[in-house]
Chains A and B, each alone.
Chain A
Amino acid sequence: MSKHTPPNIPHPIGDSVPRVDAQEKVTGAAIFADDIQFGPGLLYARIKRSPHPHALIKRIDVSRAKALPGVKAVVTGEDFPGLTGLYLQDRHIFCRGRARYVGDPVAGVAASSEAIAEQAVTLIDVEYEPLPGVFDPEFGATPEAPLLHPDLGDYKVMNFIFPQPGSNVSNHFKIRKGNVESAWAQCEAIVERTYRIPHIQHVPIETHIATARVEQDGKVTLWGSSQSPFAQRSLIATALGVSPSDVQVIAPYVGGGFGCKAGVSMEALAVAIATQVRGRPVKLRLTREEEFYTAFVRQGLVAHFKMGCDKEGRLLAMQNRLYWDAGAYTEYGVNITRASGYSSSGPYDVPNVSTDSYCVYTNHPVGGPMRGFGMPELHTGLEQCIDELAEQIHMDKVAFRRLNCIQGGDTIVTGMTMHPTGLNECLDKTAAAIGWGHKDPPSAPNKRRGKGIALMWKAPAMPPNPGSSAKVALNEDGTVTVSVGGQEIGQGSFTIAAQVAAGALGVPIENVRVATPLDTNYSPYEWQTVASRLTWSMGNAVAAAARDARQQILELVAKAWNEKIEDLDIVDGNVISYKSEETISLNKIAIYGIALPNDQGWIGGPVLGRGSFMPTYVTGLDPETGQGPRAVVHYTTGAQAVEVEVDMDTGKVQILRGVSAFDVGKAINPNMVRGQMEGGFVQGMSTALFESLQLKEGVLQNPSFVDYRIATATDVPKDIQSIIVEVPQDDGPWGARGIGEHSMVPTVAAIANAIFDAIGIRVGAPPYTAEKVYLAMLDAGLVE
């Protein structure tokens, strides 16, 4: 064996190994938050919620509820003065004096059964004085709008968020690049459009569940379905005024997150109620109806676009005004406003850009992060305007995008220099796979076919310094246990952690275990499982931890064998010497070390590798211009194309085929990467065809799976193709960057563009239901 002939063993990086959590999940053994057994001491919580979108709370009488046998505690906002919030602390755990959306928690009950808790809630009497509400973000941003947060100026806020006290604008993010006004005159074509993107919901199949116990000394334990155990620890500590280290968050597998289980939402309610029944666990489980409007929703958006190009098709200017319908509390939404602002050019090289992105308080459900973090909403309109510009100057839409799309070295909208990216390759491969430029005949005379394409980019949206850490420990059988604080929400993060550890250490993937469940008392710190950042950031931490362990092992063996570390390697779970050709299995040296000859003692001992990662290079942006050297860590880019058929008799849009190509830097697990692309495509397709939260004066009209339809197995095209492009990320593990969210960013736009290609109509805002498409065809005189 020599260094030049590596042994013929599959490297765990780039190998589509089966998921490490698969066995548990197919046998029913996997534990989710609802499955944890607490025994007969468990109490059940239910919440009294505001029926008004905006109202002053004049009086709350809990005496009848408290008198009900089996009721252990009733709490209201009186009991919890603290404010909480991730980026902007604008939220009380329970309403104090004012309710701001239908569903706002007014009081909470703990009782010995769910039925008693439910009954007690009906016995709480609340006197409200209804106030006029804000149901449109553009109106909400005007001085005429009723003020929802008079104390906005007093709220604690991170230094990159800019609230405007005295208004409903909780963040105003600006881009001023070049000179938009003088550019319009040079434009051959200009497109000006408004898109209204409806609120939607994440719809994890598992609703939010949290169980909390508070000890007599104030220590808190929270078991929850959580993407952010560490952020929850800190936010709950702040809200209760205790130390973060006195809060323990235990987070088992998450049954779908998509952002809604990031930060804190209903978990704080369970903890707050538990403070009043010390020593007893209190469980709160959202019903499906509650899940639809009392957990985070995806914010609505009113987007005004104006963009122009010269006669060769070069984009010259873009002007965007984005009004985010962020709901009653915008503690998280303010950063969606920022992220959509700093990426507001879309994946294009545009010399002149002016953007105003406003986060507006409304009396709607609370907006939170959802897969894409503002990017699907932005791209839905933007990528249709790009299509229209190409049409106006009679240019092929793929050629137009190829000419303008962002490339390594370009100065992007914030002034940052773009890193190498495979967007052009994604575009070309997608176009080729969908058969761009070629139209097949429809399957029936009453149908019309069309193809559409859209590009995307997205950066992880986060504070400049979100950290990751990891531990890698060697077990006595030579296996390895990896500990991380990043959560498994279905995206495969535990499998990636195992693969990265295996690859960096030199052990087979079968020999790696991932420590579960996450527990803030034992798991290493991770900022949050959001932003598609784990493969990259947590992956770096795991690689560092595995290399640390590797170094310890090699030092030990080098000493025992009296060899140089450079001549040693760890391959397939064995330490080998390329020089002496000695070999020793890790299970011979783990834990107990190596015996020296002639009974001279032992060297070594338990091996524990540690690693951490934090980006150190993200800079601030000028508050007036949004310019700065490096706004984000990186962008993942990609393209999607679809072929659709529109039924002229019914307006029904059928997706025949979908193609995705994304530049993931390096696919650590290609099968899982394709799984993310497919799942995201179908989620995007579902939002394009079916989904919207129908809010009337703040009241949700469709809080059930019957009335809020999501895609089922029969809606999905058989032909979904996923293409992996790999232009490495300089600071990613083996070059990897994220893919989880990106796959639903361009989908709605691609489908809208395909519908236009089929019937020549821009139907406007999604969802493109049969009814809406049919009415649009009727309006256009296409059918009668």
Chain B
Amino acid sequence: MATHRISLTVNGSTELLDVPSQMTLLQMLRDKLALTGTKNGCSAGECGACTVLLDGEPVNSCLVLAVECQGASVVTVEGLAKDGVLDPIQETIVDHGGVQCGFCTPGMLISSRALLDRNPDPSEDDIREALVGNLCRCTGYNRIVDAVQDSARRQAGKA
């Protein structure tokens, strides 16, 4: 199987990797970099558990080939907290009880972060639309929606 050498930034650090042509970004993160926070719920682009930021945009990393990420910047759930300080969305999802089993949580956090980056003041419907590709079987979603709203408020308060 052909392998390709790629360089990219993952959570702010530069990585130089040899990846097989069929390897997905999800596999690369989990198997090559041991960044196992990003989850695999379907390998088919249908659950959102594998959501990461690719050059700032939320993508299902199970649908992206690693070789396509040459020169890209990737942010995973492990990259949300900086220097031991949690991202506001990581705090509010806990405060609002939006975490149960936690398997959807990394994808939810990344999709929420992406939404707040492009729209710091989303309506409730904006939030639900932004999360529609992230399946959660435990929480019933409302507490996650509340957390995103609260996070937007906290960010506005700081700005």
Contact = CB atoms under 8 A, between A and B. Distances in A.
Contact of B46 (A23, A26, A704): A704
Interface string A187-207: 000000000000000111111
Contacts of B35: 28
14 contacts: A22-B94, A26-B86, A26-B93, A27-B86, A28-B78, A29-B37, A202-B137, A205-B135, A288-B44, A672-B97, A712-B141, A713-B131, A713-B136, A714-B132
Contacts of A712: 131-133, 135, 141
A678 B43 contact: no
B100 A490 contact: yes
Contacts of B99: 19, 21-22, 25-26
Nearest to A719: B142
A705 interface: yes
A410 interface: no
Interface of B: 30, 34-44, 46-47, 49, 76-78, 80-81, 86, 90, 93-95, 97, 99-106, 109, 124, 127-129, 131-145
Interface string A10-54: 000000001101111111111110110100000000000000000
A683 B140 contact: yes
A718 B142 contact: yes
A447 to B, nearest CB: 19
Contacts of A713: 127-128, 131-132, 134, 136, 141, 144-145
Contacts of B42: 288, 704-705
A675 interface: yes
A203 B134 contact: no
A253 B135 contact: no
Interface size class of A (residues with CB under 8 A): 35 or more
A30 B109 CA distance: 14
A681 B140 contact: yes
Contact of B136 (A37, A205, A253): A205
A706 B46 contact: yes
Nearest to B87: A26
Contacts of B138: 256, 490, 679
A682 B41 CA distance: 20
Contact of A490 (B95, B101, B124, B141): B101
B146 to A, nearest CB: 10
A714 B100 contact: no
Given A287-B43, A675-B100, A27 B140 contact: no
Contact of A258 (B39, B80, B128, B137): B137
B86 A18 contact: no
A632 interface: no
B101 A27 contact: no
A450 interface: no
A710 B132 CA distance: 11
Contacts, number: 159
A426 to B, nearest CB: 19
A727 interface: no
Contact of B44 (A254, A255, A682, A704): A704
B46 A205 contact: no
Instruction: Give chain A's interface secondary structure class.
Output: loop
Nearest to B93: A26
Most buried by B among A21, A256, A671, A674: A256
B39 A675 contact: no
B39 A32 contact: yes
A315 B93 CA distance: 46
Contact of A718 (B36, B44, B124, B139): B124
A738 interface: no
A710 B37 contact: no
A31 B36 CA distance: 8
A679 B129 contact: no
B85 to A, nearest CB: 11
A682 B139 CA distance: 8
A35 B77 CA distance: 14
Contact of A28 (B101, B106, B129, B136): B106
A206 B47 CA distance: 10
Contacts of A203: 137
Most buried by B among A19, A711, A712: A712
Given A205-B103, A713-B134, A34 B44 contact: no
A207 B41 contact: yes
B44 A26 contact: no
Contacts of B128: 713-714, 716
Contacts of A275: none
Contacts of B102: 21, 24-26, 30, 253, 255, 490
B103 to A, nearest CB: 3
A29 B136 CA distance: 19
Contacts of A558: none
A488 to B, nearest CB: 8
Contacts of B143: 675, 678
A204 B102 CA distance: 11
A253 B102 CA distance: 9
Nearest to A209: B40
Contact of B135 (A21, A254, A705): A705
A24 B37 CA distance: 10
A48 to B, nearest CB: 20
A513 to B, nearest CB: 17
A282 to B, nearest CB: 17
Interface string A284-315: 00011000000000000000000000000000
Contacts of B41: 205-207, 288
A491 interface: yes
A370 to B, nearest CB: 12
A678 B140 CA distance: 6
A671 B97 contact: yes
Nearest to B127: A713
A37 B34 contact: yes
Contacts of A257: 101
Contacts of A35: 30, 36
B141 A28 contact: no
Contacts of A679: 100, 138-140
Most buried by A among B41, B100, B136: B100
Contacts of A716: 128, 140-142
A29 B127 CA distance: 25
A514 interface: no
Nearest to A16: B97
A204 B86 contact: no
A720 B140 contact: yes
